[in-house]
Structure formats: C-alpha cells, structure tokens
Amino acid sequence: MSPLLTRNIQGLTLDDARSIDAVHAVEVYHHNCAVGSDRADGSGIADPLLSEGRRLTLGATDDAHFAEPDHFGGWVRVRAIENTPELRLEALKVGGYDSTMGPKLRAN
C-alpha cells in the first residue's frame, strides 16, 4: 500500500505526520480545499519532513465532489507500462508520475 498523506486531514499536526511511517507522498495541492476553504497548501507538512531527510514524493490532486466548482484543478499523470491498477499503484510508489494544476507537461 502506498498512502498519500493529504494535507486537509482535520487536526493533523507535524508530529502526527512524523509518526506515520507508511506514507510515500504528501499532497501539496488539493483543489477541493483551494475552492472550498482556501486551505490547499500542504507544504507546511511536506517541507519539514523533507528537510528532516524523509523520502517523499509530492502530489497535486482533485477528487471532485461537484457540489461547487471544485473539479479539473489538480491532475496526476501516471507513467505505467500498462493501464492496470497494480502498475499504476507501483508507478505512484516509485514517483513515476507528474502532478500539475492544469498545464499539460511534455517531455522533450
């Protein structure tokens, strides 16, 4: 399992985040929280963990609820050999993805 530590978990402190050792990524942008509560930034959790030597990848997400204009604001493009759940999860675990808030990323 490769959990993504979301920055909008109610009551999560930096000490709480430090105590979770099974996390592979931190959500540094969450579009629903940007639109609904102006709390989209997860760098307050990610920066200290990275500075302390924690190996993490970072993600930008959008899990649209469509109750407000909260969709199409955070994208994850996974680089997997095949489009299967197992290979997509493996790509996420090893950092084989790009996250963006909208612009399409192109490799040269």
Query: Could you read off the pLDDT of 13-36 as tens digits, one per residue?
Result: 889 888 887 777 777 777 777 777
What count of other Cβ atoms lies within 10 Å of the Cβ of residue 52?
9
Residue 60 backbone phi and psi in degrees, to 5: -120, 130
pTM: 0.67
pLDDT of residue 84: 95
Q: 1: which DSSP letter?
A: -
Structure tokens at 75: 């994208």
| Cβ partners under 8 Å of residue 89, min gap 6 | 2
- The mean-pLDDT minimum among 33-42, 79-88, 99-108 falls in 99-108
Q: 8: which DSSP letter?
A: T
pLDDT of residue 4: 56
